[in-house]
Amino acid sequence: MSSDAPRGVFITFEGGEGAGKSTQIARLAETLRTVSGREVVTTREPGGTDRAEALRAALLRGVAKPYGPFAEALMFAAARIDHIENLISPALSRGAIVLCDRFSDSTRAYQGAAGGLDPALIDSLERVTLEDLRPDLTLILDLPPEAGLARAQRRGAGEPADRFEAEGMRFHERLRTAFRGIAEAEPERCRVIDADLGPDAVEAAIAAAIAARWPDLLPAAGEGQGEVGKEREGQGHAA
């Protein structure tokens, strides 16, 4: 990072199926670009780079499932290493704000708590995969799994469920408990956002969390977000 570049900011979004992460990342990116003028990079896991996107396609088809949760976690880790090296770290070094749809907490929740993988193994894998990188803030979008799955089904009407959508309700309940547990264990890093509300209310809660942490990036509501609010009027939102 050059000495006068602002420090990059790494924000991850986590939660169960259909929690609204993609919707909220798009909104927050637009707001941050307009209000802060900073470079904002949006990305996702698994994926974000060509090689990691190729692994994503295999993972969501269920290619790793027969090998068990450890093999699956290794494949997510391989995708993450490429993503960090080739997209996240360079962007943070330029001083960008990086908004990432899922990151290492998803491995903890999906392969760990819901998949049954030993937490000590996940800790070890996380250490070698992330090295010193940790999110500055993790927003956990929380809602009952039935509500999230219903949203995801409405969106993907007619398409077959992917590897994780096809899991039963108990799996999705364990995920919710796991994400809440992560937030409780790391209150400095994590904020739980009530995602069982309309998109505008969720957006406002996320903006408040960002403003509380970085008032220089996003002033609190009513202090200078008028332009973004005006742009949004009458646009409507897919929900």
Footprint on this chain of ligand Z5A (rule: CB under 6 A)? 17-23, 45-46, 60, 76, 102, 106-107, 110-111, 151-152, 155, 162, 164-165, 198-199, 202, 238-239
Q: Token pair for residue 211?
A: 């403003």
Residue 30 C-beta: closest distance to ligand Z5A, Å: 14
- Of 19 and 87, the one with the shorter C-beta distance to ligand Z5A is 19
User: Which tokens in the block code for residue 104?
Assistant: 């290492």
Taking the complex as a whole, the smallest distance from the CB of residue 51 to ligand Z5A amounts, in Å, to 15
Tell the smallest beta-carbon distance from residue 89 to ligand Z5A (Å): 17
Q: Which two tokens stand for residue 80?
A: 């993450």
Residues in the chain: 239
Smallest separation, CB 227 to ligand Z5A (Å): 23
Q: Which amino acid is at 88?
A: I
Distances in whole angstroms, Cα of residue 83 to Cα of each of 51, 53, 75, 96, 232: 8, 9, 12, 15, 32
Ordered DSSP codes for 55-100: HHHHHHHTTTGGG-HHHHHHHHHHHHHHHIIIIIHHHHHHT-EEEE
Closer residue to ligand Z5A in complex, CB, 6/152? 152
Helix (H, G, I), strand (E, B) or coil at 107: helix
Cβ nearer to ligand Z5A, comparing 142 with 211: 142
Nearer to ligand Z5A, 44 or 225 (CB): 44
Angle at 81 between CA 191 and CA 6, to 5 degrees: 60
Amino acid letter for position 1: M
User: Of 147 and 228, which has the nearer Cβ to ligand Z5A?
Assistant: 147
Contacts of 196 by beta carbon, 8 Å cutoff, 6+ apart: 142, 143, 144, 147
Q: Shortest distance, CB of residue 90 to ligand Z5A, whole angstroms? A: 20
Pick between residue 162 and residue 219 the one whose CB is nearest to ligand Z5A.
162
In the complex, what is the shortest distance from the CB of residue 72 to ligand Z5A, in angstroms, rounded to a whole number? 7
